[in-house]
Structures are given as structure tokens and as C-alpha cells.
Homo-oligomer: A and B are copies of this chain.
Amino acid sequence: MDIKGYQFSAIEAAIKKPGRKDLALIFSEVPATASAVFTRNAVKAAPVLLSMEHIKGGKAQALVVNSGNANACTGEAGMAVARETSRLVAEGLGISDEAVQVCSTGVIGVQMPAARIKAAIPALIEGLSSGTLDDIAQAIMTTDTFPKMEARSATAGGISYSVAGIAKGAGMIMPNMATMLSFIISDAAVEQPLLDKAFRRAVGTSFNAITVDGDMSTNDTCLIMANAMAGNPPITAGTPEAEVFEQLLCEVLLSLAKQIVKDGEGATKFVEIRITGARTDADAKLAALSIANSSLVKTAFFGQDANWGRIFAAVGYSGAEVDQNRLSLNFDDVCMAKNGVFAGDNAEQRGTEILRQKEFTVTVDLGLGSGTATVYTSDLSHEYVSINADYRS
């Protein structure tokens, strides 16, 4: 994958503790068209507040990101560190403050080690000559067990361009934020309004369709930059090229989103929840999320227990319109229940076999209309409890 005009750097700033790279920089050699989606949590980290200001013009040229500290619930002092980081990076790169996006991930409520970050920035910028996107994917990991990357290429006007993305996730994953952190870079030339719309739509069917534990972070940010260095004629809305570009975005984002679920804290299962036959798409999404966030359903998945009644119970309290006599349920292609009651025969045994797989699909038809939704989730395991009980120690 060759993406033109980007440089990368990741170094150790010992933000939480020494021993790993925890400060990273993505730099576009020219100003890039950009868009970003941020957490809807009313409690927003300082870097989120700053980046929301900076992205207003639809442009960005650099992204500085740290792991080990979320810089959230840190008040004025936290805001000052985010601003100072942005200023120093901008100065070192010879670009404007507003061209810098700042992101943080890690523990909430602890002040940032401002002096260590400040001291590390010159080396961070110097490292741009030798880094790779893979280095950034590694540096942003917290409880992730593997780095998450995806890339695709296409052509526009006979010129080849690429879209590549990285992400981190694991816990605190829930729709209506971007994700924990995901950064997408492209060398395509794309008009900003199209980039913005296509990006938001792609986020809707990927990062906003996954849930690990129903929690929503203070820091979630999903950012895209497209720097036009591929040299293609700018992609504009309403053209076949725009469709191809959006399709590419969707593929990259959905792949990253699925990787996040697969790496959900302690996850042993990857489950696709499909709702069909809802009165509306909104009802379908309510029902799908209610199943995906039910602790009782998720522990049954972990236990490989075809306890389908818990799934109907979760649909029942989802807030979606439900007629319990019209509900039906499939595990993959095995019908577990129809018209609200158990399908009988060997459904129990066959359903249990499906749940023994590492990946399967749960489909609930509400029998009321044509509303549909798909979300992706994981199970709830002993390991999830261990990771989150001991996260800070």
C-alpha cells in the first residue's frame, strides 16, 4: 500500500509509565481536506474540545495522539496541555495551530505529564523521517491485544489512490461516538462536502453499529484526512467516482470496527445481530442494541448456552414496538423460535452447535414491518471483568 505524502512518527514519552511508545504523530506534507466525528458524551476530554474547534474549517495537516492518559476531567490544566501540545507541534512542523488535531486515550481524571510531553515533541517530529502507519497503530493501543489496520485502493480519472485506516478500541465501545480512536488517511483528492458526508455515512454503518459493553467514552474521535497527493481529478458528489470512494471508506471503516469488536475486552465470540421486520429502522436499531448490550444475553453467548428466551426478553424491553406472538429467531440458519415460541425438534442441540462457533449471526424478525438494522458485538467473559477490575493497577 503506497499512500503519498504522509509521514509518521512514534516515540516513548513515558506518559503513564516507561517501556512503550505512547506518543505518535501523523503528518501530511500538504494541507489535507478533513472531517471528524467526536464522542457525544457530555463529558468531553480536553483534546476533543480542542480538536472540535480546529476541524471547523474542514482542514487538517497533522495529528498528535497519546495513549496512557485520556486528559479527560482535567479542567483548565488539561485544556492548557492540549493547547500547548498543539502549539509546539504546529511550530515544529511550520504549520498553523488549527491544522493540528490532538487526541488522547487512557485513564480519565489524571493530569497529563506536561513536561514530559513537551520535552518529547522535538524527537517526535524528528522521527517523521523513519516511521510507518503501523508504528502509530501500535502506539495508540491501551488494552487492545492487536493493532488494527485496513487499506484499500481504487482509481479516479485513471489515477490510482488509496485509503488506509488504523483504530484502537477494546472497552468502552458503544454507538453514537466515532469509536475509541480511528484515523483514516487518503491521498485522494476529494471535495470537502463529499468527504464529510461520505465519512459520516460510513461511520454510521461501522463504528456506530458496534457495541462491546454499552459504555461511551469521553475521548472517542474518528478523523479522516485526504491530501490530494495522488494527483487524481478531485472527486465530486453525485459521480460514479464518489460512489467508489464511499464504498472504499465503508469497507475500511467496517473492517476496523469489526476488528475492534473481535478485540473487545475478553471477547471470545464475534456476534452479528440482525433485526428484520421492525416497524421502523429506528425500532430495529433499538432492538439490536438492546440484545447486544444485555449482560444476560452476552454471558449466555460466553457460556455457549442457546438461552434464546433472554434474547426475546431483551427485545421486549428495548422500547421497540413488539408483538410477542410474531417474534422469530435464528442462530445462523437454525430457526430457534417462531411466532414467539420455541421451534422444537432438535433446535436446542443445533442452536448450541452454532453458539460453539467463534462467529455467528443472531437474526430476530419482529414481524411488523420492513425496518432493519445490523450491529456487531462480543460476549461478556470472565476476562472482561478481570481487565476492567484491574485496569489501573
Contacts and interface: CB of A to CB of B under 8 A. Distances in A.
Contacts of A293: 214
Contacts of A295: 213-215, 295, 380, 384, 388
Interface string A189-221: 000000000000000000000000111111000
Interface in A367-393: 380-382, 384-386, 388-393
Contact of A337 (B73, B308, B390): B73
Interface string A277-295: 0000000000000000111
A341 B74 contact: yes
Interface in A23-40: 40
Contact of A73 (B216, B317, B342): B342
Contacts of A300: 388-389, 391
Interface stretch (A50-58, A95-103, A108-116, A134-142): A108-116
Contact of A316 (B42, B317, B388): B42
Number of copies: 2
Contacts of A340: 43, 73, 75
A63 interface: no
Nearest to A77: B341
A107 interface: yes
A389 B305 contact: yes
A171 B296 contact: yes
Nearest to A393: B305
Given A72-B309, A317-B41, A340-B75, A380 B390 contact: no
A167 interface: no
Contact of A390 (B216, B305, B312): B305
A295 to B, nearest CB: 4
A313 B72 CA distance: 9
A12 to B, nearest CB: 24
Contacts of A327: 43, 73
16 contacts: A40-B317, A43-B312, A43-B316, A43-B327, A72-B312, A72-B313, A107-B309, A171-B296, A174-B317, A214-B294, A295-B388, A300-B388, A300-B389, A300-B391, A302-B385, A303-B390
Given A42-B323, A109-B308, 10 more contacts: A40-B317, A43-B315, A73-B340, A74-B342, A107-B307, A171-B296, A213-B296, A215-B296, A215-B314, A384-B385
Interface residues of A, number: 68
A261 to B, nearest CB: 15
A324 interface: yes
A87 interface: no
A385 B305 contact: no
B213 A392 contact: no
A69 B390 CA distance: 37
A310 interface: yes
A247 interface: no
A329 to B, nearest CB: 10
A339 interface: yes
A41 to B, nearest CB: 4
Nearest to A108: B309
B389 A303 contact: yes
B380 A342 contact: no
A327 B43 CA distance: 10
Contacts of A70: 309
A171 B380 CA distance: 15
Nearest to A75: B341
A44 interface: yes
